[in-house]
Amino acid sequence: METRSSRRQKQMVNFSDIYDNTKFGLEIETCIYPVNQEDEIELWEVEMNFYEELKECLENSNPKMDMFNNAVGETNNNYDKWMIVQDASIKCPSTQEEKENFEEEFEVDSREFILSKSYKIREDEDDGFLTYFPIEIVTSAYNIKDIDVLFQEHFKCLNSDNYAYGFNSSQGIHYNISNSILNKYNEKDRKDAIERILTLIFILEEMIVNWLPEYRKNEVYSGRFCKSLRLIFINKELLSKNWLRFYSKKEDIYEGVSAGTDEEYISKYTLLNLKNIYPKDTSNVVFEFRLGSIHMNKELMKSWIILLSTIISIAIENKEYFSVLCDLEGTSSETQEEIFGKILNEKKEETLGVIERLPKDGEPGSG
């Protein structure tokens, strides 16, 4: 039941209030290579050495670290620490020949390949040691006002002289965003706001995906690593009807969201996944944008966080949302980009320019 104080709170908040209550975190999937390694070592040693070096660097500036052996789950992670996580979905080349022949299409069982006991750092006849180790770097959660703390201070710890990063399309960046004002809403109002956020992303999806490199854009629309919301829900009406049932199914296969199709979808592997969603409880919802192409460009990461946080903040407030919706709905992605670019630049400093300047034919690792 809505209380007088909750009604007063909603009346008082504006875009800036909402935006300032944003929290965010990153999950960076990549492959690491120990460039100074001279002896054959086990995979777990590569991971442990990388973890220890990163931990020592970070704790000089306060963030704590932890380590999990398996991919991050919703129940074992509250994002109060940085983490290093094994991720069997990432495929890394193990020899120079394999590196050169590494193609977009691969049939290897990545879990068996990555976790095999025989998979070691080993010497290649021509190029020395060239085995990469799959890893997911998970940051702690940051308040949006501390965004420069992450990218100007803590991000330096990922620039090590002892490790190189290898990139391919099995990797990506996940942008996790939450908002404390949204989480204070009562259940009905919060579900309404979540639906507005999903609807705004649905409407802006083509514009957003067009900013990605071509290879990642193709992956979104083919559903290879993160499926387009438009492929799942088809239209706003189906989204409104099915989103709660879809996202509360977690990793279970959900059939028949798309009208007239027999395709099966798992909510986790979508352009936008919702964490901490249950049929009767959405109180700690986190928006996990899985669209990010892999790179180590901190300015680009920062720009995507600002962009996605702005979209969420606009949609949380009902009046602001409908004002923006009237301008955007039914227009082309080019017109949406022009309109939304003005909105974004009114609310936040230069952001789209960083994203728009990316080469659209860039390969994994370029942006």
* Type of residue found at 338: E
| Cβ contact 294:173 at 8 Å | yes
Write out the chain's pLDDT in tens, 367 residues. Answer: 444 444 444 545 788 899 999 999 999 998 887 777 666 667 678 888 889 999 999 987 777 777 665 544 444 457 888 998 877 778 776 554 554 444 333 333 332 333 222 333 444 445 444 467 888 999 999 999 999 999 999 999 998 888 878 777 888 899 999 999 999 999 999 999 999 999 999 999 998 998 888 888 888 888 777 889 998 888 899 899 989 988 887 555 555 455 334 456 678 888 999 999 888 999 999 999 998 888 888 888 998 999 899 999 999 988 888 888 888 888 887 888 788 777 777 766 556 565 665 556 667 766 6
Measured CA distances, 328 to 192, 217, 248, 351 (Å) = 20, 21, 29, 19
Q: Where are the domains of the chain?
A: 4-21+180-356, 24-174
Separation between Cα atoms, residue 312 and residue 201, nearest integer Å: 9
In the numeric block, the tokens 């227009």 are attached to 331
DSSP state of 363: P
| Cβ contact 219:293 at 8 Å | no
Separation between Cα atoms, residue 157 and residue 84, nearest integer Å: 13
pTM of the model: 0.83
| Cβ contact 225:243 at 8 Å | no
What is the enclosing helix (H) or strand (E) of 207? helix 187-210
In the numeric block, the tokens 């590569």 are attached to 46
